[in-house]
Structure formats: C-alpha cells, structure tokens
Structure 1
C-alpha cells in the first residue's frame, strides 16, 4: 500500500470500494490497479498513455493557476497563458481540455471546496497549494461532472481513479444541485449545497434587493459565448467567410455587427479576416457601452480609461472613421495593444495619449463632444468569463473601487464641452460602484443631468442609467450611465 495525499491505493482485483475518513469527512478513494473487466481507458482516440500524460499536464496547470489565483491574486487567464508558454509541447486539443478543466474547477469552486477537509481548504485558499496529485485529479473529475462537460474524459478519469459514476436524483428541481449531491454521496461527504455556493456569501447582499439572483447564479455555472463585433459594412460576406472556416455564428437580432461564436474551436487570431482588422472579439455587453454613447461622425471624443482599446475602436467605428477619438490611460503601456489594433484595422481617427488622472486643463478642458469613463472596478460583471474573480474579491475592494471611480469621474468630466456627453461605465453588478457613484457625482455637479437612451438589446427606454445583465443577452454584465452637460448661458 502507498499513500498519496488523502487517497490510498490498493492492489486489488475485486470491485471498487470506498471508505469514509471519519475525522475529516473526506473519502479515501481506493483504486484498482489491476485491469477491471468492462472498463476501457480509451476515450475516442485518446489511449491510456496519452490520457495519463494529458491529466498530468492538466493537474500541473490547475496547481499553477490555483497558486496564482489564491496565492498571488493574479488573473487565472494570465497564469494559464504562462503555463502554456512554458509547455509548448502541448497540442491544441490538450490545451483546450486543460483550459476547460481548469475553468470548470474555478466555476464550481464554491461547491468543490466542500469536499475538502477544512484545513486543506483553508490552506488552498491562502495560497498553500499542498494537495496530492490524486486528490487534485478527483477534484477535476468532480468539476467536469458537475458542469456536465467533457463527460467522456470525466468517465475515463473516474475509471482511472476508481470512482463510481455518480447517480443524481432523477427529475430533481435543480439538476446542478442534484449532481453536487450525487458527488457528495460518492465522496462520502455530508455536505449540503445551495445555488448561492457559487459566490462568496457576502456577494448577494450587495446586489440590488430586486435583483433576480437565481438567474444570475444559473448563468455563473457556464461560460458565455464569444462575441464578435464586425468592423466592416460587408457583414454578410464576412459572416460567410467565418462560417467557411468552421465557425458556427449567431447574429444578434438587434445589433447588426454583433455575432456570437457558438463553437470557438478555431484560433480566430490566425484568420486572414482578423489580420485585415475586419472584426474584434468584444462581448455583447461591452458593445452596449458604445451604442449607449452613440457618437456622431465628425465628433471629438475622449476615452479616458481606454486600456487595450476595445471600446475606443467601437467609438471610432461608430463615427464612421471620421472625427477623432483620443484614447488615454494612466498606464501608458496598456495603449500599446490599442495602437496595434488600430493599425491593423486601418483606423485613421484614433490618437493615443497618456493621462495622469488629474483634471484636464488648457485646450483639453471642455474640448470634447463626449467623454467615456470606463472605470476600473470589481469586475463582478465578468465572473462568468473570469470565475477566479469571485474567490479573490473582498468586500473592502468594492469600497476602494468606488472611491477610485469617483475621483476618475470627477477628473474626466472636466474634458466635456458645454452641451457635451459624459458616459460612465463599469463591468460591475454592485450599485455601490454604479448608480452610487453617479448619484454622488450629480449631487455635486448640477451642470450635468441624466439623458434618456434606448436599451441597445431591447429598444426599451432607459432613464439615463442601464444595467446590462448576463441573462439579457447571454453575455457579460455591464453598467452604463449617459449624462449631458448643460449648455453654458451666453
């Protein structure tokens, strides 16, 4: 017998056995190393040796990402990209399986963590990733089973680990919670589960009282589709070209340039149409910000927190490549990506400048028809896409973000001309960062007032503020407010 983590291996030729560890509630999973009749290790074209190698890489990636997220509060996508750079021998299928497994682990973490002993859970969430290989593989299996994706690989992994296939209660009101309960039965856990396990317990009280939390939590179980914004008037031709590359596209019924990619199996960044700058990857909710701003051709706009420039490009495109969009950011290196993207698409009306975050003076003060403030925030609205953010954000971070947003909005508003527009946006769901910031700004700036606009996804009137929710369009969640500066008295 040899011990690895909390799981014990025995050389047996009998049936799979499970025994409960009384002091922690975590089960020992006993693996049969002899060949089991009727159990095949082959999944599709994946043989035993290949599968074990893939799982080893998957476990190493998961360990690296958990350490980055919980130990360093670094984004999971960057950690995973770094892992892939260091392991260039991994093929596209390996990378896809590893990515899907790691993100399933992060999406279901609120449930999966209940299968761990308290001390192990506390260690992991403080960045001490001391977890055995087999125990980590079992968590990955549970994540795949819980999410209902890659079930073929999950079945092979269960056979490798000696885990009986969980049997959820049929016709359960919540299939997701039924799968969680079935996993608990297999692991010998007495844990109970709720939909609210998908976020830290402090999150829901910070949402609006009438917020449909059930729909929000349901969306958190799955990743949203990839959305494209087409930057060409010949949309039908480009859509046909993308479909000929094997992409399944779904056009948004109201937003002509917005297309969802249902099966992003193709590397979009290698396509000729991408190199020609004919489309950008931009979530549908993000596209709503530019549509709420509705800049006119020939105007002069400022994107005060441009970052990599997704919304800058959208503004420039909506202006039909006329006028000027000045993109600023206090982190000047962030603008490098925007310059590349603008050159690729041939936008002549984009200018980049560094901004120190202070009020505008001289020619810049009051010099713009419109100013967009896409403020840094808690990013709670993109937790479907970046599930690691749920587990690293703290309540005090929301307060700190709101204070920063207030300062940025105050400073950027000085660039709006008389009669011009001020657009405030976040990718947050918390009113403290959204309406709370705008209301505080308006209380001390009587020269600005809400300006109604149409909901880009529905056409319904908005009174000047809009919260786009994930279930409004199978997308991220974003907030936007449209303010008009009163005309100066002559």
Structure 2
C-alpha cells in the first residue's frame, strides 16, 4: 500500500517531536521512555491511532538500535544527546529516524519515504552477510559518510559485558535484543479454547505455549484493551517469563500468600488464579498508588481472594510474623531482563547503581522472610540478568538465614528439575529474562527475631 505523502509528512513531524521529547527525558533525567511517550501522546490527542502506532514504532526503533545509531553522530552531538541536550535540527533527527526504521526492517515504506524526503539513496547491504542487521548498519554508514565498524555488542553499553552470567548464549541474546518481543497473555478462564477462538476472531494470530496451558502469544494490530474478553477479565497481559515465577511458587487452594512487592499486581492475580480463587493473597507495596491498578484489575476479573495494603518495608515481626503459607518477593531490580521491551533501560542504567540495587534487594528479602510460617515457602524473583542481583543476593540471604533451604521445582518451560533456582533467558521462550528461587522454611521455629 502506497503512503499518502502529505499525511506521512505530518506523521513524521509528530514522530520527530515525540523522539526529541523522549531522548531529552531518557538521557537527561533517566525517565522511562514508555511513560514519557504515553504522556506526550496524551498531550497530543490530535494524533490518531495510525499516527500513534507509527510514532511508537519509530521512537522504540531508535532506542532499540541506539548503540548502532550513535556511531553515525559527530562526537559533539553524541555527547550533547547523551546528557539530555537535544540540539539536533529537524532534518538531523529525521535522518536518525530513517536509520532506525531501516535497521528495524519492518516498516520499509516509511523508511523509504523519509529517505526520499531527505534525498538519500536506498542502502545496499551485503546480502550474503551472516548478520543482516550489521550489514544494514554498514550500508547506512556509507550513506552517512561514516567509517565505522559495527558489532552486535554495540546493542549494549560496554560495561555490561562483564556483568552477564555464565552460560548465556551471547549471540542469541543479542539477536533477541535487536528484535521486538511478542505479546504474551495469561488466560484466566477455564474456557481457554473459547478465548483463543475469540482472540483469533478479533484478528489476532494466537499461539499457545506447549507446556504452560494458560500462556498464549499474540501478534496483530489489535488494541487488546478494547476487547470484551479483556473487559470481562478473561486474560491479563503477562510475559511468559513472568508467568514462570507464579508457577514456581505453586500456591495451593485455600492457602494464605503475601505478594510483598506487588506493584500493579500481575503476579498477585496469577497467584489468586492458581489458588482457584480460594484462600487469600495479600498484595503490598511501598508505593500505595501502584495498588490502585491491582484493585481495578482484581475487580474486573472478579477475584474474591485478593486483599491490598501498603507496606513500609520494615521487617515483619510480632503478630505480623509467620502468618503466611508463602511469600513472594519480586524484588526491585535493574530490569535488565526486560530490555527487549524497554530498550531505553540499557542506556540509563549505570554500573555503580548495582551496589545500591543489591543492597535494597537483600534488605527487602530479609524484611519479608519472617512473614513465612514454619514449613512455608519463600520465593525470591527478579527481572534481571545480572548474577549479583540473583544468585549473589540469594547466597547472602541463605548464609544469614539457615532456617531456609532451596527446594526443587520443575522448570515450567521444560518440566526439568531446577534444583531450586531458575534463570530464564529471552531465547528460552521468546520472552523476557527472569530469575526465580524457591526456598522452604524449616518446620521448627528457630528464628530468634520472632
């Protein structure tokens, strides 16, 4: 389908303005790109659905491939941008958007239209190259007159390489970082076949996971939140790796569970569903406004077994201790496991922040652990790739708390035993990366703090 050039010029102008706003906020203040872009779109309601789609596509392509795009910039421009000073002329930023869309290689008509507007020839990459992304980057370099060497490692800041875990398939991991992730849903209805049929009828391509019965991946340009199935609480958006955390917890019907760092409550809802809407899941967070989202989601799906309350982060003690059959600590983290979905995080995280992050993780895990009954389960989870946030925090906690031991659970993606800990990488299921550990508290109550 040919583009309407007049309309496309308007879309490009809007994308340019949005990109400028996002770059300034991300690099200048470290604000999350998704929130900045959402706010910009709310303020610019003249942008229709197709405009919004193109703007999001272009902005996220720019962030996803920033490590390659930055090599096209003069040194002084790059320094300015990465400290939040966006002094690019409109044509300069249009050129970056063209390069981002070309690297993304999905909306080529838009990339071609920008190239023609700017008077650029169409790039000619080496079609025999093993890595076509890098070949496209090289072809762009010739157009921009830049003599640079491109590598897949450019998709991450250099300091991160030394923090990646052993056993990571680096080539597959970097290939995933260069690609958009799919949208995973968790079905929360017994009539899953009917829901799959309804999603397909709405125009979505639906793929069920081979091992996790309630997990489906969907693709297609359909607004999920307008569907009756969503309004009726029949599904929630929840990544496949995130669903593995609830399955590692494996709560039983009638139990009492605490989701200590619930946030918007995706895992709270999963726990409540796994308990067949019986028992109780108490969701807490130090950010009380986050729990408002959970309350809305719980009402929409009609969950009777979810309670919410604010938690100040102080240790559970006295009458508040030893009251739960299970406690989930989905700890605040670097979010390095969701960089496919939030590529701006690759460029805003600083190495020195990891020390503070791991300190907070240990403190939160230590504070929540006394809430577990003797014989109960403690789950520690992050959406991080970094060993210091995962095994490092876990080993330190176990050394300080001998009343807890690791407990084996099956890998939800394969059924294989885990030995008590599981690191999910993106290529394990075309998903985010997550870490989860399952611990059991011994039956005898020996914790002196209680």
Establish whether TM, by shorter chain, passes 0.5.
yes
1:455-470 superposed matches below 5 A: 455-470=411-426
Which residue of the partner structure matches residue 354 of structure 1? 310
Which residue of the partner structure matches residue 336 of structure 2? 380
Distance in 1 between the 2:286 and 2:80 partners? 36
Residue 361 of structure 1, CA deviation: 2.1
Matching residue within 201, 204, 208 for 1:247: 204
The answer to whether the Cα contact below 8 Å between 1:204 and 1:213 also exists between their aligned partners in 2 is no
Residue 45 of structure 1, CA deviation: 4.9
Larger radius of gyration: 1
Distance in 1 between the 2:4 and 2:130 partners? 37
**Structure 1 unaligned spans of 5+:** 1-43
- Matched residue of 1:360: which SS? coil
Which residue of the partner structure matches residue 397 of structure 2? 441
Matching residue within 270, 290, 299 for 2:246: 290
User: Residue deviations 1:118-153, cap 9 Å, x none?
Assistant: 110000000001101001001111011111110011
Matching residue within 39, 42, 47 for 2:4: 47
Which residue of the partner structure matches residue 184 of structure 1? 141
Which residue of the partner structure matches residue 154 of structure 1? 111
How many residues are matched?
446
Which residue of the partner structure matches residue 177 of structure 2? 220
Matching residue within 382, 400, 403 for 2:356: 400
Distance in 2 between the 1:381 and 1:314 partners? 20
Distance in 2 between the 1:319 and 1:249 partners? 26
Matching residue within 266, 271, 274 for 1:315: 271
Matching residue within 428, 441, 444 for 1:485: 441
Matching residue within 376, 389, 393 for 1:420: 376
Which residue of the partner structure matches residue 39 of structure 2? 82
Which residue of the partner structure matches residue 201 of structure 1? 158
Which residue of the partner structure matches residue 301 of structure 2? 345
RMSD over aligned CA atoms reads 1.0
- Matched residue of 1:463: which SS? coil
Q: TM-score, normalized by length of structure 1?
A: 0.90
Distance in 1 between the 2:110 and 2:101 partners? 8
**Worse-matched range after superposition: 305-314 or 357-366:** 357-366
Which residue of the partner structure matches residue 40 of structure 1? none
The answer to whether the Cα contact below 8 Å between 2:70 and 2:78 also exists between their aligned partners in 1 is yes
Distance in 1 between the 2:163 and 2:291 partners? 33
Which residue of the partner structure matches residue 137 of structure 1? 94
Residue 457 of structure 1, CA deviation: 0.5
Distance in 1 between the 2:167 and 2:213 partners? 31
Residue 77 of structure 2 corresponds to residue 127 of structure 1: no
Which residue of the partner structure matches residue 431 of structure 1? 387
Which residue of the partner structure matches residue 305 of structure 1? 261
Residue 54 of structure 2 corresponds to residue 97 of structure 1: yes
- Matched residue of 1:74: which SS? coil
The answer to whether the Cα contact below 8 Å between 1:448 and 1:485 also exists between their aligned partners in 2 is yes
**Structure 2 unaligned spans of 5+:** none
Which residue of the partner structure matches residue 16 of structure 1? none
The answer to whether the Cα contact below 8 Å between 1:225 and 1:474 also exists between their aligned partners in 2 is yes
- Matched residue of 2:423: which SS? strand
Distance in 1 between the 2:206 and 2:319 partners? 45
The answer to whether the Cα contact below 8 Å between 1:223 and 1:384 also exists between their aligned partners in 2 is yes
Distance in 2 between the 1:120 and 1:223 partners? 28
Distance in 1 between the 2:445 and 2:88 partners? 68
Which residue of the partner structure matches residue 452 of structure 1? 408
Distance in 1 between the 2:102 and 2:9 partners? 18
Residue 51 of structure 1, CA deviation: 1.2
Distance in 2 between the 1:379 and 1:103 partners? 17
